[in-house]
Amino acid sequence: MKAFTIKKTDRNLTGTIRLPSSKSISNRLLIIRALASAGLDIENLSEADDTLLLLDLLKKIRSHQGNTSMTELDTGNAGTAMRFLTAYLSMVPGKWILTGSERMKQRPIGILVDGLKSMGAQIDYLSKLGYPPVMIHGTSLKGRELIVDPGISSQFVSALIMIGPKIPGGLTLHLSGHAVSFPYVKMTIGLLKNCGIHVSQDRSRIFIPEGNYIPCAFSVESDWSAAAFWYEAAALADHVDLELLGLTSGSLQGDSVISEIFKAFNVETEFTAKGIRLTKSSQPLSGNKFTFNFSDHPDIAPAVITTCAMLGLNGLFTGLKNLQIKESDRLLALKTEYEKIGIITETYSTGNLIPAIEIKGSNFEPRPGLQFSTYGDHRMAMTFAPLALMNGEICIENPEVVTKSYPGFWNDFVSAGFEITEQDLQPAP
């Protein structure tokens, strides 16, 4: 097993980082382009593993479209590819098996499949009811009004929105209950509007009219979710002067809220012509308990919660329901790794059994031999990497998982002053 030893001889964070393009925007644009009858020119497409995988799968779909034999498509651990292609393939002539990694087969998809089948989609489960893999016979769908529970994944809603214009009569979605990650739904709607589809929506109803995507060019902005780990590093550093290129104040990405959240940790954000500049004030941190509901922003939860824990603050974090069905059970992963550094946590359920985690303030003391597992999860690796600022040296297992969303993360870490050496770890007996 590969591992990285990460060292930081001081607690300064300086430099200029070009963040990766947004994977979330890129993947949506690839599906829109596949659905469009005219060209969509995408500039600055993400080079993340998930995006490259989706790009290859869409090429394979085009070459096998209309075949009478079955075509198998493996989405690996890419949740957006699984959810978006389930909806897309329901309309594409052909016979398709859509599968994924063992972890993907544990991630629910039943709500999306039920909605598609109510419009005439021909989808069958090949193993466990409500979970991949699925077999899809592409056919014509009929427009109607659907009631969709968005409480598991916003990607179910986004997948339906993107195929909506290609359904005769369009599609009306009624959202029952609170939508998790709703900013990602708003992102999808914004991209449709940029491509000529005039979606109307409020928090509980979305109408997607029948229509054609218009030819246009779109340049993908940098990824605010990736910026969260640099904000974390800035909060843990003593001196900060860090420029992150490609971020904008008028972003389609809901995770841009990170710039407001980290004010509580004395990290200041200045928007520039090229992106943002992070600095840090020396004012004492507030002694009040830090609270935040992450139902709209689950991807930045690990970085924020870990920052709070390492700074010795009390924190209560709610809205963590879908953290348990990500690439790993992130709630369990955080709790397990925090135990290695003496951080006291308590997990429990709030209303409707939605999990929460509470951090009890404690003073972190550096300790030798600190080693973190990553659980095959890119965000776990990037969450724990900045802890080298406070511990001096740490070890990250399976560091290559970052390529799922941020292929250049470790190179950027070196350019910001961290020392990284590779080693082989022997498996536990």
- Residue 178's CB is within 10 A of a number of other CB atoms, namely 17
> Which of 223, 255, 296, 299 is labelled catalytic?
299
Average pLDDT over residues 256-262: 97
What are 72-94's pLDDT values in tens digits? 999 999 999 999 999 999 999 99
- 80, β-bridge pairs: none
Residue 426, pLDDT above cutoff 90: no
SS (H, E, C) 271-328: ECCCEEEEEECCCCCCCCCEEEECCCCHHHHHHHHHHHHHCCCCEEEECCHHHHHCCC
Helix (H, G, I), strand (E, B) or coil at 386: helix
* pLDDT class of 429 with cuts at 50, 70, 90: very low
Complete domains list, the chain, with CATH: 2-20+222-424 (3.65.10.10), 23-219 (3.65.10.10)
Q: Which of 75, 142, 137, 140 is nearest to 109 (CA)?
A: 75
Residue 177: its pLDDT value, please?
73
Q: Is the pLDDT of residue 219 over 70?
A: yes
Proportion of the chain above pLDDT 70, given as a percent: 97
Per the CB < 8 A criterion, the answer to whether 89 and 109 are in contact is: no
pLDDT tens digits, 19-51: 999 999 999 999 999 999 778 999 999 999 999
Mean pLDDT score of the chain, rounded to an integer? Answer: 93
299 is catalytic: yes
- Each residue's pLDDT tens digit, 158-190: 999 999 999 999 999 999 877 788 999 999 999
pLDDT digits (tens, 9 = 90+) for 347-386: 876 655 568 899 987 778 888 999 999 999 999 999 999 9
